[in-house]
Amino acid sequence: MPTDIQHDTRPQKDGPSRPLLCESCSRPMESPLCCAGCGALNPLPPSMFDYFELFGIAPEFDIDVADLRRRYLTLSRSVHPDLVAKSSEENRRRALQLSSGLNRAFDTLADPVLRAEYLLSLAGGPEPHQDKSVPPELLEEVMTLRERIDEAVRDREEAALADVRDRIRQGRTHSLDRIAGLCRSGLDDPATRRELRLVLNAVKYWNSLQNHLPASAASGPEHP
């Protein structure tokens, strides 16, 4: 039976030297996915570049998500397999590879928690499997809240459910603020990175609590 399973999301550091030139028309490429000039798809796998590079933006926590989405849609129009369905086998293979890389990069950067996780990984970790600790008082609170959800659901107590939901939102928001603060302060210091690891682990507990809420109680826009 297999053991020792872990995600390997670390980008390779020794990418090609910049600026990257299009192999078809030799113009410099804005995104290493495809050439904006001639539309040629890059034969290099997207895993050779970090996610920020793919979008041509600076590797920072504070990014403009609306701008990121615009870039994502523009790039999708160039690399999505649908739009090269009629071209060569090789081009279609490239499109599949590039668009799966692009999708993953977008999903990661568009979500603040995943973005922070990714920045931590770029800065050298610790990775989730290397340190699974959480603030000690958190575990107890999570257990209590979980019980309160189950009770409220059982007894159909809408008001109690709303209370728990608000507490979960509050706890999660607090963690998210902390994550943002740590990322902004820079991740060169190993102590900062360890603390970030701790808060990122905590968010997972808040998320799982939120998923434990019945859908009817959890409705309401998180981030409209």
Partner 1 sequence: MSPESEPIVGIDLGTTHSLVAVCDETGPRVIRDADGEGRVPSVLAFGPDGRVTVGWEARRHAEENPLATVFSIKRLMGRGFDELAASGELAHLPYPVVKRASDTPGRDIAAVEIHGRLMTPPELSAIVLRELRDRAAAYLGRSVRKAVITVPAYFDDAQRQATRDAGRIAGLEVVRIINEPTAAALAYGLGVRQLLGEPVRRPSAPRTSLPVGLSGACPSAQTGSAAPPADPESVIAVYDFGGGTFDISILRLSDGVFEVLSTHGNTRLGGDDLDREIIGLICREVRERFGLDIESPATRQAVRTLAENVKIRLSDHSSADIEIDLGGDRIYRRTITREEFEGMITPWIDRTLDSCRQAMRDAGVGPGNIRQVVMVGGSTRIPLVRRRVEELFGRPGYTALNPDEVVAMGAAVQAAVLAGTRRDALLLDVIPLSLGIETMGGAMGKLILRNTRIPCQATERFSTFVDGQTSVRIHVLQGERELAADCRSLGAFELRGIPPMPAGIPKILVTFLIDENGILNVSAIEERSRRQAGIQVVPAHGLTAAEVERMTRESLQHAREDMTAHRLIDLRNQVAFDTAKTEDMLAKVGSRLEPSEQEAVRRDMEALRRLAAQSDDADAIFKALQAFDRRTVRLAELAILATLTESGP
CA nearest neighbour of 165 among 219, 224, 223: 219
- Residue 3 touches partner 1, criterion: CB under 8 A: yes
How many angstroms separate the CA atoms of 53 and 29, rounded? 11
CB-based contacts of 178, cutoff 8 Å, min separation 6? 199
Q: What part of residues 43-102 is at the interface with partner 1 (CB under 8 A)?
A: 73, 76-77, 80-83, 85-86, 96-97, 99-101
CB nearer partner 1, residue 18 or residue 132: 132
CA quadruple 173, 197, 211, 165: dihedral positive or negative?
Answer: negative
Minimum CB separation of residue 2 from partner 1 in Å reads 4
Chosen residue from 90, 107, 150, 158 binding partner 1 by CB under 8 A? 107
If binding is defined by CB under 8 A, does position 121 make contact with partner 1? no
Find out whether 178 and 196 touch, Cβ atoms under 8 Å. no
* Residue in 51, 106, 118, 206 binding partner 1, rule: CB under 8 A: 106
Q: How many CB atoms lie within 10 A of CB 220?
A: 8
Q: Which one of the spans 148-156, 180-188, 194-202, 211-219 is the region binding partner 1 (CB under 8 A)? A: 211-219
Least Å distance, CB 178 to partner 1, is 21
Site residue total, partner 1 (CB under 8 A): 35
- How far, in Å, CA of 202 to CA of 48, rounded? 31
DSSP letters spanning 117-136: HHHHHHHT---TTT-----H
Binding to partner 1 by residue 8, rule CB under 8 A? yes
| Residues forming the site for partner 1 (CB under 8 A) | 1-8, 73, 76-77, 80-83, 85-86, 96-97, 99-101, 103-104, 106-107, 215-216, 218-224
